[in-house]
Amino acid sequence: MTAGRRASSEDIGPEIQAFMRLAFDTVKPRWVVTVERKGTALIRTHCDPDHRRGHPTDWGKVISSEALQRVDPAALREGNFLVLDEGIYHGRRIQKALDVLEEKQVPRNRVKVAAFSVHEHSSFEDVSVRWFGELASDRYGEVRRRLIEYFQQQGSLLLDTEHIEVPVELNCGPLEFFDALCRAGVGVEHVSGGGQQNLTIYNPVLLDEADLLRRLPRKTTIRNVVRKIRVVERARNRYAIIPIFYPSVPAEAGLDSMDNIEECLRAQAFDAESMFHLVGVFAAINLFRTVFAFLRDLIRDGKISVSVPQLGDVDDSVSHLKVLFPSLDIEALRGFVERSVEAGRAYRLRRPQMRTTVRVEAVEGTRYGAELRRLHWLVLRRVLDVWHRSPGKRRGATLAELMQIGQTNKLAPQSEVAEALLSAAIDRAIDDADLIPDVSVLPFSDGVRRVVRTFKLDGELILSDVERTAALWRSMTDAPPIRDRGTQWM
Amino acid sequence: MDVSFGRGHNLRLCYRSCLLLGFVLRKRFEGLRSRKGDVAGLSEIDVDKTMRLIDKLWEVRPGKSGDPRQLIDLCVRRDYNDKHGHRIAFPIPHYAPGEDPGRLKPVLDVIKIFDAETSPAARIFSSREQKTEWGTVRLLEPQVSLSRLLPLHRAKVVSSEEMTFLEDVGQMCGYLEPDQVIAIGRHEDADGTRQSLLWEMYRWKESTLDALDTLQSFGTYAEAPAPAASASRKLWQSWSFALECKKKAGLLCEDKYGSDRRFYVEGLDYLQSDEVTIERPVLDLLLSVQASGDEIWQDPLVSTLRFPAFCCWTFSSYCCGTLLKLDPFKGSEFARRTASVSAEDLQRAHWYLTKCVGVSREAQPAEFSLEWLERLENTPLVEIRLVPEEVIGDSTKTADFVANAQEIAQWVIETCVEPAIEGLDSQEA
């Protein structure tokens, strides 16, 4: 079924909701397979009380395309499948998901595909539900951009599905809140494309670092890894705190090396890549201790209130992990999150742990805002270079490879500020759906091969856009001029 | 150019001005904090005078356009004067186009109203109280970040260059100590300093006469605490207005209270030193709108007021400083505020006052200095009957002291202050 609408630049939210209702009413699925990441983001915007009729009411019925391999075929014997993505350019990702379903012996006639927009050159034709079809490249890009802005307005939903967040409500100025967190690490404040305030704390202090390292798989390293605290404005006076921490895990580590990781996470490990993700979830939840230790005084003074949402609440931010780990004990995971939050609240910081607040404002129209945009472009350019130069299988760029860009920073003489800006630039690129996180197994100088977080360009459209721009704009230090419409590069 | 004076439009302009001011203050606060460690906030006077400085610079910023969408100037007046001195103030939007507004409200007071009506997340300032030797002081922490200016930027009310300019001004202000930013904020030329100083002398006169009248109505000064509390407040007010006279006149720069002249010159010198990293164009702009210390304080408009200001200061040091040490006033909040006045200070004040009351109106110097006064050999034209130690040690002398103080105050007012403030022409709160 095609809605046959013409793409427009007006507010796209009602159209997304109408598309989702149409897809669910048409297919009446027992299962929803979301193509990462935007398929999952669509479901996250959709899971509010007003739209629950006929739709999955729990995350147990939603499976990420990346988790599909791990699902027992026996569980998939009944019901219709809705394979959901925000857009189909060539159709490779959709086809990949369908191939996995076929491997799981799910008959094709039980599978329906829904995409919000379809490119005119897509080789994938069997789309049951679409809102925009036969879109030329310009229009496809515009719809994509509007969709991403919508996700940003809903609260940066393009962050990885495996991030857990805890909401806080402010009864003080946001800068008091930000300043408290910026004592844990250098903070970069910026505004997303959707107009939400964002703060990224770079390399926040680890409380009891030695204890954390003892619990990680042997030979895991936390050097040159993604470690940050994202703070995203969700509504007036409400923010989501999202710690992100991906230690690099040895590729040869056995499952027994996970023995000291929280039980509910340990039980989900089955290979090196899953271990990487689960260790990441574990390490990130530990960062809640840092967060709430630094917010302790504000909470005590009633300037911030926090509570970990219950499962099934509107702001439940734990259950969506079932999309990636279908058999995850969500109740136990929520308990772990709560304990970490409480441990942070009870923690008395020692003076050496409290840094001077450093908060950089990188807002559009300012020097640091221009620097953020410049770094955003250089990150994409570097990712493209690494992509082309990777020997063997193409891969994304590691954080260490991206951090080399920071040496060109003229505005921030202190290197930590330069690194923090670069980290925020990577966040912007992810939020804008220019980059997508990935994993690769890489050799390290100590001879150990480890699973590491990498970043690659998000899809063919972005890849061709960046390639074309890089061919026209050769500067290795500056960003190209801003374009008025469509994608932001030339 | 459409300059609508509708209430809604005016309020919008006021609010936008407050956001810009709040942002620069935030940068100042962060600058101070990065240099000094934990800074609990900015005092209200620091905020007030910094805002005045910001307005001076915003008015002459480079690239200023006549685009009616933009915030061409902050909609404030800089010559508003009340008991807190020269301040910036908004015109109250209750007048017809073409009419002189007449009524002004200090910007800081308007921000307090805005903040009282909004949620904490939308406030310009958050505040906390801090105990000091001066009593409980309210400190303000500005809460406006760049992201709050972004809607103005997107609506082309403020350009990118202007946002950068505001950041640079804030960064520059972050290098200044509170005394320095207050001095630079409230002074810029001799004429303004003269006006400001005349207002302080006027307020000194009013508060001193009021304090002495109140004291005269007491009997033995062993009255119930309430009258003593009221009297001690008035004594302290007289003393503090006298202190402002001294500071604004640039007198006794090196004593424990300092002077605006010293802080003004120190601040400007520091900003031009190698220790400071600020954008040169902003510094040049500052130096173009601010006269030098000599241009202000050596100008006859100001220098001729030094002697009258010194008389106010010396009198209040002698009179209020002595009285606040007496038993009925001891232990009061205002006595604590003048605890820095030592016995030596009182002795010195007595000696200087004895000299001052020997200078007739005609003999007042065009350029006063302590050396000039110390060389003077004259006879007091009004008798100073008691030295402070006599009064502090003997409560029976208090009534006589007060009566004598009234005579001396009257002489100072008639001979020094009133001739000076005759030319006062700025509007009063």
CB contact under 8 A, B160 and A358: no
Q: Does the pLDDT at position B1 exceed 60?
A: no
CB contact under 8 A, B123 and A365: no
* B155–chain A nearest CA distance, Å: 12
Terminal-to-terminal C-alpha distance of chain B: 31
Residue A174 contacts B, CB cutoff 8 Å: yes
pLDDT at B4: 43
CB of A81 within 8 A of CB of A336? no
Looking at beta carbons, which residues of chain B come within 8 Å of A365?
A: 150, 153, 158-160, 163-164
Testing the interface with A: which of B33, B141, B143, B146 to mutate, by most A Cβ within 10 A? B146
Q: Does the pLDDT at position A49 exceed 80?
A: no
Residue A4 contacts B, CB cutoff 8 Å: no
Instruction: Select from A170, A171, A191 the Cβ nearest to the Cβ of B147.
Output: A191
CB contact under 8 A, B164 and A367: yes
CB contact under 8 A, A176 and B147: no
pLDDT at A115: 93
CB of B166 within 8 A of CB of A363? no
Sign of the alpha-carbon torsion through A311, A312, A314, A317 = positive
Looking at beta carbons, which residues of chain B come within 8 Å of A170?
A: 120-121
d(CA A138, CA B331) in angstroms, rounded, equals 78
What digits encode the pLDDT tens for the residues B21-41? 999 999 999 999 989 888 989
3-state SS class at A249: strand
CB contact under 8 A, B147 and A303: no
* B167–chain A nearest CA distance, Å: 9
pLDDT tier for residue B93 given thresholds of 50, 70 and 90:
low
* Percent of chain B surpassing pLDDT 90: 42
Instruction: Select from A178, A356, A369 the Cβ nearest to the Cβ of B37.
Output: A356
CB of A370 within 8 A of CB of B154? no
* B62–chain A nearest CA distance, Å: 16
3-state SS class at A432: coil
CB contact under 8 A, A176 and B126: yes
From residue B295, give the alpha-carbon distance in Å to each of B261, B268, B270, B301: 11, 13, 18, 10
Task: Answer with the residue of higher pLDDT: A335 or A72.
Answer: A335
Structure-token pair, residue B374: 């110390």
3-state SS class at A191: strand
What digits encode the pLDDT tens for the residues B123-148? 999 998 888 776 788 999 999 998 88
Rounded average pLDDT over B83-92: 81
Burial B184-222 (b: 16+ CB within 10 A, else e): bbbbbebebbbbbbbbbbbbbbebbbebbebbeebeebe
Task: Answer with the residue of higher pLDDT: B233 or A409.
Answer: B233
Q: How many helices (H) does chain A have, and how many strands (E)?
A: 14, 16
Residue A349 contacts B, CB cutoff 8 Å: no
Q: For the ranges A3-17, A224-238, A260-274, A358-372, which has the lowest average pLDDT?
A: A3-17
pLDDT tier for residue B220 given thresholds of 50, 70 and 90:
low
CB contact under 8 A, B147 and A236: no
d(CA B219, CA A382) in angstroms, rounded, equals 87
What digits encode the pLDDT tens for the residues B38-73? 898 999 999 999 999 999 999 999 888 777 667 777
3-state SS class at A443: strand
pLDDT at B47: 97
Amino acid at A23: A
For B31, the closest chain A residue by CA position comes to A358
Residues 223-262 of A with CB under 8 A from B: 236-237
Instruction: Select from B119, B143, B145 the Cβ nearest to the Cβ of A361.
Output: B145
pLDDT tier for residue B429 given thresholds of 50, 70 and 90:
very low
Rounded average pLDDT over A419-445: 90
Burial B343-356 (b: 16+ CB within 10 A, else e): eebbeebbbbbbbb
- B72 exposure class (CB count in 10 Å sphere: 0-12, 13-18, 19+): middle
Q: Does the pLDDT at position B188 exceed 90?
A: yes
* B288–chain A nearest CA distance, Å: 25
Q: Does the pLDDT at position A178 exceed 90?
A: yes
d(CA A253, CA B121) in angstroms, rounded, equals 47
Residue A366 contacts B, CB cutoff 8 Å: yes
Instruction: Select from A175, A195, A197 the Cβ nearest to the Cβ of B143.
Output: A175
CB pairs under 8 A between A and B: 73
pLDDT at A317: 82
What digits encode the pLDDT tens for the residues A90-131? 888 888 899 999 988 899 999 999 999 999 888 888 899 999
Looking at beta carbons, which residues of chain B come within 8 Å of A197?
A: 147
- The DSSP bridge partners found for residue A453 are A439
pLDDT at A410: 62
Looking at beta carbons, which residues of chain A come within 8 Å of B30?
A: 357, 359
d(CA A309, CA A318) in angstroms, rounded, equals 9
Rounded average pLDDT over B153-169: 91
CB of B189 within 8 A of CB of B291? yes
Residue A363 contacts B, CB cutoff 8 Å: yes
Q: Which helix (H) or strand (E) holds A202?
A: strand A197-202
pLDDT at A296: 95
Looking at beta carbons, which residues of chain A come within 8 Å of B150?
A: 191, 195, 363-365
pLDDT at A489: 57
* Percent of chain A surpassing pLDDT 90: 41
CB of B58 within 8 A of CB of B5? no
3-state SS class at B126: strand
Q: Output the average pLDDT for chain A.
A: 85
**Is the reported ipTM for this assembly greater than 0.90?**
no
pLDDT at B175: 97
Indicate the DSSP class of residue A76: G
Terminal-to-terminal C-alpha distance of chain A: 35
Dihedral angle of Cα A333, A335, A340, A343, to the nearest 10 degrees: -170
d(CA B175, CA B31) in angstroms, rounded, equals 7
Task: Answer with the residue of higher pLDDT: A31 or A37.
Answer: A31
* A135: phi then psi, degrees, rounded to nearest 5: -85, 135
